[in-house]
Amino acid sequence: MPSIPPIANLLAFEAVSRRRSFALAATELHLTASAISHQIARLEADLGVRLFERSAHGVRISAAGEQYLPRIAAALSAISLATDDLRQGDSTSLYVHSAPSIASLWLMPRLRRFSQACPGISLNLSAAHTQSDFDLGQADVDIRYGVPPWGDLIVEPLFEERIVPLANPSFIERHGIRQVEQLLKLPLIQSNVSLVQWSDWFSMFSNKRAPDRFRVRFDRAQMALDAAMQGLGVALESTTIASQHITDGKLRPICSLDEAVRSKAHFVVYPARHAKRTNVEAFLGWIHSEAARMV
């Protein structure tokens, strides 16, 4: 096995990175600031890189430290959770990682039904754009947004989505939107991470080109939808992810669903070795049944 730095040094690195202070990290870990400083110095010597930049204004994590931190923090969290489960004799935990927008807008509203269907499972849900590293034991299941394949993992599509222009109903009425061409005169909201972009939509349903510049841009579907609900413009997003907002009357498709780009971009992903875990099997059965409700 490759050389692994002492856990104490990694804990010191994670604490200083999070607290941005040697003194605060020392208090948290019940050590002296000098001891923390020595642990960081030994870790830097071990790795051959500077993890922090020190100055009279405090401590700032370096570029190398920023790159190192997410995986170290995730590994330490996995060790902590595994230890807690073992101490408590807990075999009921399920760790699910998810892309942020589907976690908050689609999965969260359905968790009550999961709790009712699987009352014996203790669900731990985390959300981030970064994908879960199964080799580090970060998750049992990952709900990913993007384009497979992802190595030798099992990949199961969740649902087909319809991507359409969405806006606040009062925004639609105020601007009297009746035709596709009118969109070019309105503020369009750009979702940077979406697999379906405005250029794709315009090329399918208009002979006009999408604009090159946008008034506002976001890196999460949830923020793009929030902006549309606030009347900042028109968002090109999934009616599946925005379903609750549409049901509540906060958003409305500008065109018919016949003028939608169809996309399969959300997937349940897990290693083959997880497939026979009882809690994973239960979760997979439940989430696919939820996805089937929308067909």
Give 3-53 pLDDT, tens digit per residue.
Answer: 789 999 999 999 999 988 899 999 989 889 899 999 999 999 999 999 998
| 182: confidence class by pLDDT, cuts 50, 70, 90 | confident
- Asked if 44 and 13 touch (Cβ cutoff 8 Å), the reply is no
Q: In sequence order, which ranges of the chain are alpha helices (DSSP H)? A: 7-19, 22-29, 33-47, 63-87, 100-102, 111-117, 169-175, 198-205, 221-229, 243-247, 278-292
Residue-wise over 88-115: b if at least 16 C-beta within 10 A, else e? eeeeebbbbbbbbbbbbbbbeeeeeebe
Looking up tokens 């990694």, which residue turns up?
10
Tokens of 86: 């073992």
Q: What pLDDT shows up at residue 85?
A: 61
Q: What pLDDT shows up at residue 268?
A: 97
SS3 112: helix
Q: What pLDDT shows up at residue 276?
A: 87
- Could you tell me the domains of the chain? 7-74 (1.10.10.10), 91-157+265-292 (3.40.190.10), 161-263 (3.40.190.10)
SS3 94: strand
Mean pLDDT calculated for residue range 104-132: 92
Mean pLDDT calculated for residue range 111-135: 89
Q: What pLDDT shows up at residue 241?
A: 94
pLDDT digits (tens, 9 = 90+) for 251-266: 999 988 888 999 999 9
- Asked if 225 and 237 touch (Cβ cutoff 8 Å), the reply is yes
CA 201 to chain centre: 24
Q: What pLDDT shows up at residue 158?
A: 95
pLDDT(135) > 80: no
Tokens of 160: 């087909």
- Asked if 118 and 286 touch (Cβ cutoff 8 Å), the reply is yes
What is the rounded average pLDDT for all residues in the chain? 89
CA torsion sign, 231 to 129 to 96 to 159? positive
